[in-house]
Structure 1
């Protein structure tokens, strides 16, 4: 079974070895891609949710064999909701294509065409640690938007994908900046 999210870093590394500039690592630029792998915190949280879902589904089966179909249906529905939450958690992140930039959050998804993007840059600033209210000094990849005064933080080096993975953050930030530099100039 192909796992396309595992090929992001390999494609970037292969192109980086061939040239000194930042190359866009994918052949098909029309398809939405996440230019980095999900981090261990995100994958670990999703694995725990899937483990919980397996126990809930097992409970649904036991309840169904006991004859209480309404309780089994409730447990089955709860298990499916937990599976959907785990999949949504794994899908969260920044996705890029020729058409624009997509920021997939846990509850909402925002898509901006490259024509609405004024700039993508990495800055040093206080960032949230694993999305919690606590802030620490770190790096953030900021997205400037037309008509919006405040830039949007796309990635930080202390989120669930890049905590303790500074090189991966820098690679992902460089890749998103390269996509922005490539397609912001092409749009009228």
Structure 2
């Protein structure tokens, strides 16, 4: 079964001369592949879920269906968490820009985007409180939203840690989407 949220469109890598080589611009897409840290964490969660599912089967065979249902529910929650972890990131389409977090998703129409730019600033390492000097792709919204730059992705998050070229390609692609939308 193909999982479209795991792969970025490979057309960007194939066509270097075209900034936005997509046929269907109305479809939400992530302009980069998930990084090895994110995929590794999701794989570990899925491995944990397989053990929990096996425990649910053993509990069900032991004759306590209520406890088996609880453990099965825990396994489903772990699977849902790993899939949500893989879905996190920045998504773009003709409608706007979407930032998918673990618990929240924010969608911003291109009309409300003032600027998308790459800046050198202190960034959080893998989302932890520790900060390092790095690059961040920031989003500047309209004056009604405060106008403060919001970091969309950084060189030290789970998708780009140790992959500066991938960050540059992804940042360029998001900036190209914003430029095409007129910002």
Q: Give me the TM-score of the superposition, normalised by structure 1.
A: 0.93
1:31-50 matches, cutoff 5 A = 31-50=27-46
- Structure 1 runs, 4 residues or longer, greater than 4 Å off: none
CA positional deviation for 1:13: 1.4
Q: Does 1:139 align with 2:140?
A: no
Unaligned 5+ segments in structure 1 are: none
Partner of 2:177: 179
Say what the alpha-carbon RMSD is for the aligned residues. 1.3
Partner of 2:97: 101
What CA distance in whole angstroms lies between the structure 1 residues aligned with 2:11 and 2:168? 15
Q: 3-state SS of the aligned residue for 1:26? A: coil
Aligned pair partner of 2:68 in 63, 67, 72: 72
What CA distance in whole angstroms lies between the structure 1 residues aligned with 2:139 and 2:170? 14
Aligned residue pairs, count: 181
What CA distance in whole angstroms lies between the structure 2 residues aligned with 1:58 and 1:7? 29
What CA distance in whole angstroms lies between the structure 2 residues aligned with 1:75 and 1:45? 21
What CA distance in whole angstroms lies between the structure 1 residues aligned with 2:182 and 2:89? 20
What CA distance in whole angstroms lies between the structure 1 residues aligned with 2:3 and 2:103? 24
Aligned pair partner of 2:157 in 149, 156, 159: 159
Unaligned 5+ segments in structure 2 are: none
